Each structure stands twice: as C-alpha cells, then as structure tokens.
Structure 1
Amino acid sequence: MASNNGRNSSEIYEGQALLYKHTLGFIDCMCLKWMVELGIPDIIHNHGQPITLSDLVSTLQVPPARVGQVQGLMHHLAHTGFFQRVTIHDNIKDKEAYALTVASELLINGKQICLAPLVKHFLDPTLLGSFHEMKKWIFDKENLTIFDISLGCPLWEFLKKNPAYNNTFNEAMASDSEMMNLALNDCNGFFEGLESIVDVGGGTGVTTKIICQAFSNMKCIVFYLPHVVENLQGSNNFTYVGGDMFKSIPKADAVLLKLTLHNWSDNDCKKILENCREAISSKGKRGKVIVIDVVINEKQDDHEVTGLKHLLNICMACLHNGKERTEEEWKKLFVEAGFQSYKIFPFSGYLSLIEIYP
C-alpha cells in the first residue's frame, strides 16, 4: 500500500532506518572513544590471542552489573569492523572471543603507527561541542569558523592559548604523519635529486624526519608556527624554522605541503602557493612544490573513500573555512598562483601526491 507521498511501506522503512542510523551515529564515535580510553586494543594485543568477554571484563575490573553492557559494546564494535568475533577452543567447551582487526591494530600504543592520539583529539568534547554551532555558522555573515563562534577565536589561536590542548593536537598530527612512512616507501622517486626541501606547516617534523632518513645528504627544514618549533632540536641536515607562510618561505629546491592547503580558502592558498613558487625559483633552477592532500574524484573512488572525502570537506569548512578540492579546483589554484604544469599520483588510501612546476 502506497503512502500519501507515493512511497510504499518498504521504501519508508528504508528511509527510517537511514534516518535513525545517522541520528544515533554519534554513538559510533563514543564507542570508539570508549574503546581507546580503556585501551582495549592494547589489552587484546598483550593477551596474545583473542580474548573472551570474561577475561576482558576481569582485566578491566568491570562491575558485575555492567558485564552485559560491555558485551553489547563489543558486539557493536565487532559489527562496525573494529573487532572480529571468533570461536576459541579449550578442554571444556568452545567460547566466543574478540580478535583485533586492521583498524583496531592501528590503535595499539607503542607501535610505529598508532592513531589513538588522533582519535582522542578529534573526539575531545571541546572539538565535538563546536559542531553544535553548525546552524549559526552557516548563517554567519562575517566568515567566522565554528571555533570562532563556539570558543571566540580560531583554532590556531586557541591552540596557542591552551598548551595542553596544543600538545594533544600535535600528538594527533604526529600520529597521522606516521602513516607517511608507509606511503613514502613507494615514493622515494619524488625526492631523488633534491638537495634541499622545506616542509611548510610540518608540525613537529615526523614526515620530514622520514624523508631525512631516506636521503641523508638532503637539507631538510620544518617550517611552522614559532611557538610550536621554538624548543625543538634538529640535527646536521635537519632544522626547525619558525615563521609565517603568508609572508615568506625558506628557499629550497622543493616545498612540501602535506595536508596544509585544505585548511585554507582559495585566496589564502593562492598566497601560500605564490610564496612557494618564490621559494623554489630563487635558487636559479627549476624546483617544484609537492602537495600531499585530498583530490575528490567521485567517478574513480569507491563509495567509502568518497564518503570519507566528503566528511573531511565538511570538517575543513567548519573548522578552518577550508575545503577539499576536485582536480579542476586544484588546477585553477595552480594556474592563478603562476604555475605552469602539474601531475597527480596516488599516494595512500584517500590521499594524492601532486607535483607542481613553475
């Protein structure tokens, strides 16, 4: 039987399921936060094998009244891909247990790649609370960010005023940068032949250190906000320089912009790229800019990757008035900043590497 709007009951139920799923979607985030805060991936890893519910609640010292709730949480996290429910055998009977998956392995502390700091940062109540201001933000006429509206200042100013939060932010960005090691293993060709490189917006230098280790004769500079790098120590071919990328950028054969441009509007990106072009052109030879960022390509990407890119686009817009870009939008930026050509290469699951030439 069709409803008043012409939809049959099956279609309406599907719409209801989608609506409820996203209305309750915040619980997915909170379950992830719960898992990380309790260190459950670490517990299973240290256990040496899939862990039963009884062993897990014993390790966590969960009150008996909450054992059923823990089981519900673990079942949901298994359904969403963070654990695998398996059967283990002992001398008495078969038991259900929880094993790690690729996603939860990325949350084990002490591993070279551990994204737990990133999860903790993005699920911090301060950041999450700002997104309740999306209605006010979308009607704002002063081009404020959500942080401007919720906290009274931009993110970068907030970080400068709050050292503890700044530390968690830097830890989050550093953990994400460790993923670069995996991706850069296949990208050494992009850095061969360079005598110097400056990583603009390079944070604490995790990515730059990876490049330095692979190319010990290359002079590497991390160029970032003065209050972030002022107490950081470099080495013979690795240095930290504080400054403002909107004013000038240290001279080098190449400039690296890793997940930097998506933080900024088109006008701001144009200015940054113009300063990059000046930095690589002043040494008397044809340098290049290397951009590691998102390129939206709905025709080629699978549905899940496209969904992630759209979420990132909303995040960048809300927090920084930035954006993720299509190839056509990138091309327009490069041309307006005075560059002559570019090439796009796959870099990681959702990122691309773009070489830009003056």
Structure 2
Amino acid sequence: MTTFPVSENAEWVSVLSYTTALTAPFAIQAALKLNVFEILNRHGQLSAQQIIDLLPRPCTNPHAPALLDRLLHHLSSKSPTFPCPLLTASLSPTSSVILYSLLPPSQYFLKDANGVSVGECVSQQVLHFLDTFRHLDAVILDGGDGFQKEFGHHISHHIAEHTPKLVAAMASMTAVLMPQLLDAYDGFADVGTLVDVGGCTGYTLIHILDKYPDLKGINFDQPQIVTSGAIHPRLTHVGGNMLEAIPQADAVFMMRILHDWEDDDCITILKNCKTALGNKHGKVVVVDFYIPDLMDGYVPMHNFDILMMSSHGSKMRTAAEYRIMGRQAGYTDVKIVCIVNEYSVMEFLL
C-alpha cells in the first residue's frame, strides 16, 4: 500500500461542510422515494444493485447502481452534515461490492401503520421551507418571516390548507414523543378538564385521555382542522383562534406551538390561556424545544433556530426567556419539570 503525505486546511474543510449541508434533506428524500429504507428493513443487508432490482418501478439507466452507491455511501458517512449515519456500509466477504444495512436511527424513516414516517415529515418540511431561506437577510433587516414573503401568507394558513397531508405525519411524531412524556410527567392527574391549544385533530390529547380515565379533553384548533377531528368518548372539538380566545378548562396544554410565534403573539396566547383558567388555581403546561441558556456548540438547536427565524419569524427560547414571557403574561412562575427527547415540559403557574 502506497503512503503519501496529507496536508489539510481545517478551515477550508469546514467551509465546504457549510456550503454542502443542504445535500442531507435531498439525499434523504431521494432514498425515501426509492424506498431504500423499507427495502433494507424487509430484506436485510443488500448491495446497490440488489436494491435496484427490488424497486417497484422499472430502471432504464445502466448507471443506476453506481449512482445509488454514491447516495448510499453519503447516508452511511459520518460528517458535520450526518453526525449520526442512517446506514452502515461494509465490503462483501466474497467480492468488492459494498453492502448496506440499516442503523438504529433509520427506524424513524420506516413507515408506521398510517403509511408515514417521522423522518419523512421532517425532511419534507425542510425542503418545503427551502424557498423561505432566500429571504433571511430581509427578515433580519425588515422583520416579518420568510414564509409570508415567499408565499404571501402565514405558515398557519398553509398548515390549515394541507391538513390531510400533515395529520398522519404529525400523529406519527406524537406517537414517538407522548409515551415517554407521559412516563416522565404526571401533572395531569389532578386535572378535571384539559384543553389542548393547537391540538390539530386531537391525536395528542387522546394519548393523555387514555392514561387518565377521569379526564375530559377539549381539542382546540382552527375550525377547518377540527372538522376532521378524531373520535373519543371524552373528547370535544372546538374551532377558533388562539390569538383571540381559548375555551375554559382546569388546565391548558400546548405542545410544539410557541416556538412558531413571535414574542408578542406568544404573550397574547399565554394571556388567553390565563383567561381560560378563570380564577381557578390552574396551570398551563407547555412542551417545546429545550434550549440551554448558553447555546454555544449546541448545533441542532442553532439549526432549528435559523429555520424558525427564516420560515416563521419566530425563535427557539431558553428557560429564562420563557420566564420573562410568563411574567409579562401575568404568571407568577414558570418552571421546567422535565426534559424528554430535547423537549422541555414547563408549567406556567398562576
């Protein structure tokens, strides 16, 4: 084997990583369209040629195996773009062919009973938001959000218009988070009626109702969304606008809501939650991304923060920032109860 000196400019390598980072969601989307994860899950370790042979659609390109090899090698590489590879690659013991198999993180790209995957939802979301990034400089200088600048309306309108496509994917994400959350947090045990603000079709609230048989739930979201709400004997669907008013209840629940909104809107929502509790000794339970007070080096949250700034005109927040918003909305205290899968469970107390 020939050895030779290697000279590497770490700064230049870092620059290349930044400028090619967008390959990740596109590579994942291509693998999903080619059914790579499902094929490997069904058949085990395979070569690119074997995967091509198992595709449901005909392949007319004689170079397809070589091209797929390059894609799969990307998905099996560890880099700043892929800190945790989805596939593992190894040489066949009988030839020079590379064989691929799934690594544990790839389970989130396998379809569930609804025919969707968490990974598919996330990667498609990033790709859909891609056009909003062109407005990032204007968001910084002029305010607003990239989604409004690109598409002419707030992202909440987009969600309402595409509810059928998003419901199954969001339910899949909730199915991953809720069992762990309910194991770690028991703050609903003494609640009579719980309203889930921005609860989509009610799939999140049903997880809570199933654990607490005496609890009654109100699923609150936009009218066009709750019309296709899930059915449960202790679940009521109410349509409305959380920026205007929220149905009365003993406690309020919000999951993955506040990071989508600017500070002033969040304070308005939290004030409406406080009004919904009336004069009772209630609480607002907020589940949202956990951000350390010092974000240095916490790369995933930096990425999400830029995504929120670009597409929503909003941001990720630290516990200290939530406490400030809580005081401005009239709450006496905001405390983090636990952290589950990068989400903090916070109680806003009257």
Q: TM-score, normalised by structure 2?
A: 0.87
State how 1:20-31 maps to structure 2 within 5 Å.
20-31=16-27
1:176-223: CA deviations, max 9, x gaps? Answer: 222223322423512212111111011122211111111122101110
Q: Which residue of 1 aligns with 2:3?
A: none
Q: Which residue of 1 aligns with 2:140?
A: 138
Q: CA RMSD in A?
A: 2.5
Tell me whether 1:184 sits opposite 2:176 in the alignment: no
Contact 2:201 2:230 (8 Å CA) reproduced: no
Indicate the larger mover: 236-245 or 345-354: 345-354
Match of 2:52 among 51, 57, 64: 57
TM-aligned CA deviation for residue 119 of structure 1: 3.0
TM-aligned CA deviation for residue 264 of structure 1: 1.3
Q: Label 1:123 to 1:252 Cα distance change in 2 as closer, same or farther (>3 A).
A: same
State how 1:180-329 maps to structure 2 within 5 Å.
180-282=177-279, 285-297=280-292, 299=294, 303=297, 306-329=298-321
TM-aligned CA deviation for residue 320 of structure 1: 2.0
Q: Please state whether the residue corresponding to 2:207 is helix, strand or coil.
A: helix
1:242-264: CA deviations, max 9, x gaps? Answer: 11112211111210111111111
Q: Which residue of 2 aligns with 1:77?
A: 75
Q: Please state whether the residue corresponding to 1:325 is helix, strand or coil.
A: coil
Letter in 2 for 1:82: L
Tell me whether 1:110 sits opposite 2:107 in the alignment: no
Distance 2:323 2:119 in 1: 35
1:138-175: CA deviations, max 9, x gaps? Answer: 232xx321111111222223444xx4x44333344333
Contact 1:83 1:100 (8 Å CA) reproduced: yes
Tell me whether 1:330 sits opposite 2:322 in the alignment: yes
Contact 2:293 2:320 (8 Å CA) reproduced: no
Distance 1:38 1:354 in 2: 41
Contact 2:117 2:169 (8 Å CA) reproduced: no
Distance 2:42 2:296 in 1: 35
Tell me whether 1:339 sits opposite 2:331 in the alignment: yes
Q: Label 1:179 to 1:147 Cα distance change in 2 as closer, same or farther (>3 A).
A: same
Letter in 1 for 2:10: E
Match of 1:98 among 85, 97, 100: 100
State how 1:32-43 maps to structure 2 within 5 Å.
32-43=28-39
TM-aligned CA deviation for residue 87 of structure 1: 5.7
Match of 1:129 among 115, 120, 131: 131
1:67-92: CA deviations, max 9, x gaps? Answer: 11111111110013010124666xx6
Letter in 2 for 1:144: G
Letter in 2 for 1:326: T
Q: Label 1:273 to 1:185 Cα distance change in 2 as closer, same or farther (>3 A).
A: closer
Contact 1:224 1:241 (8 Å CA) reproduced: yes
Q: What is the aligned residue count?
A: 335
Q: Label 1:64 to 1:123 Cα distance change in 2 as closer, same or farther (>3 A).
A: farther
1:86-114: CA deviations, max 9, x gaps? Answer: 4666xx66964212122211111125893
Distance 1:53 1:319 in 2: 36
Q: Which residue of 1 aligns with 2:66?
A: 68
Give the fraction of aligned pairs with identical amino acids, expressed as a percent.
Answer: 26
Q: Please state whether the residue corresponding to 1:72 is helix, strand or coil.
A: helix
Distance 1:130 1:31 in 2: 20
Distance 2:175 2:296 in 1: 24
Contact 1:57 1:67 (8 Å CA) reproduced: yes
Contact 1:233 1:239 (8 Å CA) reproduced: no
Indicate the larger mover: 165-174 or 26-35: 165-174
Q: Label 1:233 to 1:351 Cα distance change in 2 as closer, same or farther (>3 A).
A: closer
Q: Which residue of 1 aligns with 2:156?
A: 156
Distance 2:291 2:112 in 1: 33
Contact 1:234 1:240 (8 Å CA) reproduced: no
Q: Which residue of 2 aligns with 1:3?
A: none
Contact 1:121 1:168 (8 Å CA) reproduced: no
Q: Please state whether the residue corresponding to 2:109 is helix, strand or coil.
A: coil
Distance 2:19 2:288 in 1: 30
Contact 2:29 2:124 (8 Å CA) reproduced: no
Indicate the larger mover: 74-83 or 227-236: 227-236
TM-aligned CA deviation for residue 271 of structure 1: 1.2
Contact 2:29 2:120 (8 Å CA) reproduced: no
TM-aligned CA deviation for residue 22 of structure 1: 1.2
Q: TM-score, normalised by structure 1?
A: 0.85
TM-aligned CA deviation for residue 302 of structure 1: 9.1
